[in-house]
Structure 1
């Protein structure tokens, strides 16, 4: 990638990362101290001159207390643009290097990523606590311990049937380390991509789509259950990955994802766990 204006998805990702960095209140120097990435690397990630690694996106989401699902999906779209693979129509996009299709990341890679994410989160908490103490001259260790404990991710807001119809990010079900794709992304005739994501934490699934157009719709359904559907309302919706509400994944038999473009017939994919 040459030093030119970043592609659209890469630009949106950089802007989202800038917003997350602002939420943390951390300087680039502090980010470098908290993570495995240098100050200059973070500067390039935030201004869009270089695509941030997926792990850096996850780390910053964790530090800002932001659900990572949508940002990780946007990263996947940005990675396609950055690598030029979005211009290849012969095959669907590959998953990120550390996430094999249809399975969990290898244990040693996930453990390394997990340690880095947790370390970054702990560092951010420490810096925030230090700033608070310096400002207000408070030395109550109990309060500091309480803030540190509260930084841990909350329990999911639903499980199995109770997740049906709910938003996966809002309910805390979209953490990348606790989700997996049920098969490779399906490439539709219009170029849109459709994939079903399973949350092992919430025992629920949802459909995720990108490269869509205004008026497109996609859905996820199970026999005898409700149909969870999303319609691309406008160009803003079409710019980013969208996902359906969740459905109970207790029985994956008959789970089906369908994509209905504005000017063509519906395409459906049967998904197996």
Structure 2
């Protein structure tokens, strides 16, 4: 179902413009409406209208949903999103305009050179899981953590591989059930924590986003709330998109654990993790913004929910609605 598209805003960066054009091409190629696209990705029609008309840059979570639901060039789309995010950050950085002006003054002949078409850079991630989640620049403290973790990842993989070989026995002796079988997604980076050991830690830095499942969503007006769960890490965290500075989403376990995703600037963020493996855990995400408060439905057994989502065709699993 192709359509006559509106002209894109003039102030879009080149990678953002190319990304929107590619997203429009994917929608047209599959001949689906905005409403159908929303159902397939568990996101609102209004959100897709904003992304496909260049009003907002698509979020990494939304792009992940699109790639999981439809046949498309995952590497190209992910690369363009990262380039568009970098261009947006450069434009908003203090002194960016001054730096560009200075560069032009030093090399006046550069403007006369023909501009080469931007070439997408392949990403060193599996095609089945190609999308970076919420950008790390939204959490400056995460940059320091990732820098340290990068060194450890070279040895942590082999070490944790040995630990996982005896994971079932350790889980039985501790009273916890072993982790459910993971869906094959190619080589995954090693997770650096599990269950209670993940509480209060960053899911990106700990490698837990590699098998992230969005097990519940909810809304407050245009704001979208997410409950994320990692079967390998047996931990959960909250996400929030299409919000404004001051909006927040809090994930709670029902046993005292909770973490909050607060939007400091921009329109999205994610929280640190909570232990989702403790007996009696009931996960829920509640959001707060100027238009009011709302929560997702409570969820027990996130591992079973994640497994069901992994084995059900996109679009056939009903989306959880927020509680009143």
What is the TM-score when the length of structure 2 is the normalising length? 0.41
What is the TM-score when the length of structure 1 is the normalising length? 0.48
